[in-house]
A and B are shown apart, each in its own frame.
Chain A
Amino acid sequence: MSQGNEIQEEPLLRVENLGITAGDTPLVTELSFSMASGERIGLIGESGSGKSLTATALLGLLPDELTPSGSAHLRGFAPDLFTAGDKAMRGLRGDEISMVFQEPLSALNPLMKIGAQVAEVMLVHRTVPTRAAAQRRAIELLASVKIPDPAQAAGAYPHQLSGGQRQRVMIAMALANDPQLLLADEPTTALDVTVQSQVLELISAQVRERGTGLLFITHDLAVVANMCTRVLVLNKGRLVESGDIEKIFTAPAHPYTRALLAASDISATDARGRLFTVDTAAGYVPPALRTEVAKGPAAGAPERSVRPAGEALITATNLDRTYHRARTRAFGPRPVVKALDDVSFSIAAGERVGIVGESGSGKSTLLRILAGLDAPSTGSAVVAGTEVAGAREADLAPLRRQLQIVFQDPMGSLDPRMKVSDIIAEPLLVPGQKLDARGREAAVHQMLGLVGLEPESASRYPHQFSGGQRQRISIARALVNRPSILVADEPVSALDVSVRAQVLNLIADLVDEYALTLLMVSHDLSVVRHLCERVIVMKDGRIVESGDTEQIYNDPVHPYTAQLVASSLDLARELAPNP
C-alpha cells in the first residue's frame, strides 16, 4: 500500500470542478479529485449519485444531451479531456484510458468471436503490427486473465462463456494496450459471489502489476475496502467525503458516509435486532471499533423469538428436474441438464429458511416447482397440503392462495400499464375470494400502509416509484390475500444498499406479524444469515449442506459452503487486520 507518498509529481489524473448537467438539472456538481499513478480510488455512491456519469465523462462518451463542465487532465495528454473533441479522445480510449463495464454479456458483441473482440482494440490503436499478431496477443491476454483453454475461448462467442469468464474477457480487452487509467464500473455486481472475489482479485493483481491507475465504481463498500486505497463518496452528484480507506471506514465524518456504511454492514443490528437504515445510522458503530462488543448481539444474526416448530408445511421428496437441450450433433443424443437432482427437505410452518447457491445451482427451478410454476420430472413436492407433481392448473388454486412470491426485479415483475392499486388487488380476484370492490380497496390501502407507502400511491404507476418502493409494492401484492408461505427470490439483489436494509427489515417485520413461513433464495449469504434461521446450500442441482444458519456460517462442513462463506465480502472481515 503506497500511502503518504508526498513526492510532488504530476498526478496521473486531475479532475477539477467537474459538473454534468442535463438541461438545467445538475447531475454532478463541483467534483474535484486527483489520482497519482498506480493509485486505486473507489468511487462510492447509490444509483443516481453520478458515479457512472463521472467515468463516462472521463472517457468522453457522455450521451449528447448531457454536457460536462470543468476540466480533466491526463498525464501526457495536453488537451482537457472534456474539450478535446472526439477525434483526439478516440486516440486515448482503449489505449490510455480503458473501461470495464457492469454487465459483461451485453457489453460484448454477441455476433463476434471473443478473440476478434480482444484483438480489435489493439488493431484500432495499431499497437500490434498485423492481424495475426493481434490474434496471438489476444490469446496471450486471455491466458493472463486466467481463462481456461484461451485458444479455444478466442474462437468462442460471448454466449458460450460463463459470466465470470466474460468479465475476464472485458478485463483482458481493457488492459490490452496497457492503459494508464482503468475505469471499472461495478464490474462484479452481475456476478456470483465466488466469481466476484476471483474477478476482484484479478483486477487488483493486474493493476498492481502494471501500475495502472484504477477508478473503481461501486455501491458496495465491502468491495471497495478490498480493492482501493482511497475512497470518494458521492451523494446526489456531490462529493461528500474523501479519504483513505481506514479513515472513511473507521471515522466517517459525514452523516451520509456513516449511513451508507451502516446500511452495507449487514452483520450489525441495532438494539431491536433490526438492520441499520439511513435513518437509524446515528447509532451505528463501524466494525473496526466494535472489537470487544462484537461478542454481543451486534455480531451475528439478531436474537429472535423462536417460534415453536409446527408441522411440515412444505415437503419435497426426491425432486428431479431435467431439461433437454437441442442436439449438438445430427443423430447424437440430446444433452440432458439436471437442474434438480434428488432434492429432499421439509420446512415446518413458521420456519424461515434460506436457499443459497450460485446461478445454475437449481435454486430458481426449485422455487418454480414449489410455486407450481414448473413440474418436477420425478419426485413429489407437497406444499400447504397440495401435491405439486402432476397437478393440473385447477388443482393448484389452493396453493396459489397459500403461497405468494416476491420476485427479484421489481421493475420487470410489475405490469407497467397497471395502477398500483390494481397490481396489489389482483391476487384478490382469483376464484374463491369474496371481496367486493370496496373491500378490495380497503385491503389495498391497508397493505400500502403496512409496507410504508402513501395511500396516494394506489393511483400511480410502477415507473413513478424508486426500486425500493417498487419492491414494497411487490411485497404488498404478495401479502394481500394473507398467504401462509412467502417466497422471496433474491428480493434485494437489485436494490441499492441503503434501501436493501429497509426492505429486509420490512420482510422480517411482516414475517413476524403474519406468522409467515419464509422461503428466501439468495446468492448473498449475509442476507440469508440475517433473515433465516435455517439455510439450504445448493450446488449443481443438489443440496450439499443444510442446517442452522449460524452454525453453517461459522463452521461450514462442505468445502463448497466454506468457499461460499469465504467469498462473500463482509465489511467487518475486509477491514479486520490481516492475519
Chain B
Amino acid sequence: MTIVTGKTEARRRLQPGKSGVLRNIWEHRADYAYVLPAIAVMLVVIAYPIYYTIELSFYNTPPGLQLRDKTFVGFNNYTAILTSAVFWKVTWNTLIWTVGSTGISFVLGFAAALALHRDFFGRGVLRAILIIPWVISAVAASYIWKWIYHSDFGIIGAVLVGLGWADRPPNFIDSVSTVLPSLIVVNIWREFPFAMIMMMAGLQTVPDQLLRAAKVDGANAWQRFWHVTFPHLSNVSTVTILLLAVANFNSFIIPWIMTGGGPSNASHIWITHIYELAFGRQRWGVASAYSVLLFLILMTLGYFYVRALSGNDRKDGSA
C-alpha cells in the first residue's frame, strides 16, 4: 500500500513542478515548530562561526582583536601551514594520539563490557567504579595524573625505584619520548568507560536465542562471540569508535593542562596548536586556516558517522 501511495504522490509532485514540495512543507508547517528552538540555537552557534572561520582564513590579522585592520592574503596562510615542519610534527602526534587512544579505549571498554555481562556478586559496584573516571572533570583528571607522574614525588616513579627497576624516578611528562604515551594513558583512563557503557548497552540487545542455538550447534565460547555477538554489535561498535575518534581528535584539556604541548612540541596536537596560535600568538588568520583544514578532515569522518547512523535507522525502519 505504501508503494502505491508513494508512486501516485511522486507523479503528482512531478506534474505541477515545485509547488508539490512547497505544499508538502506548508502542510507540515506545524511540525517545524517543535524543532525550531533546536535549529535556531544551532544556527547561531554553528553556521555563523563556520562562515566566519572560513573568511578569516584568507586574511592576515594584526595581533590583538582589532580585526578591522585585517588584510587579504589569499591562500598564503594555507601554504604557510603545509610547508611548516611543526605542522607535520603536530599532525603525526595527532594521529598517534587519536588512533592510540581510540583503539585501546575501545578494546578495553569492550572487554570490560563482556567481562561484566554475566551476573556475579558485586557487579553493580564494580561497574559503577569503572565508570567514575568518565564522569569526573578532565581538569581534575589532568591534575591527578600530573601528580602521579610528578618527577620528584610521583607515585609511579616511587614504585619503580622501590622495586629496583629504576635508579631514580623517570621523567614521564618532561621527556620528549615518553610524554605522548603518558598522556594517552590518562586519556584512556577517562575514555574507556564510555566505550564500556555503549558496548554494555549493545550486549543487552544480542538475542539470547541465537547464542543458545549456536551452543546447541556446538559452537565454543570464542566462536559464539566471533560469529554471533560481534556481528550483532557491528553498528554499535562503528558508532562508538567514531564518537571516540572524534572526541580524541578534538581533545584539548589533558595535553593543555598537563604539558601545554611541550616539551618542544612533543605533545602538541592539532587543537592545542590551533589554540596557541590564536590565543597565544594572536595569529588568527593562520589559526583559522588550520581550523578549515580540520573541518575538511572532520567532514570526511562525519560522512562515515552519518552513514553508520543512517545504517541504524534503516534497520529500525525494517524491523
Chains A and B are bound partners: no
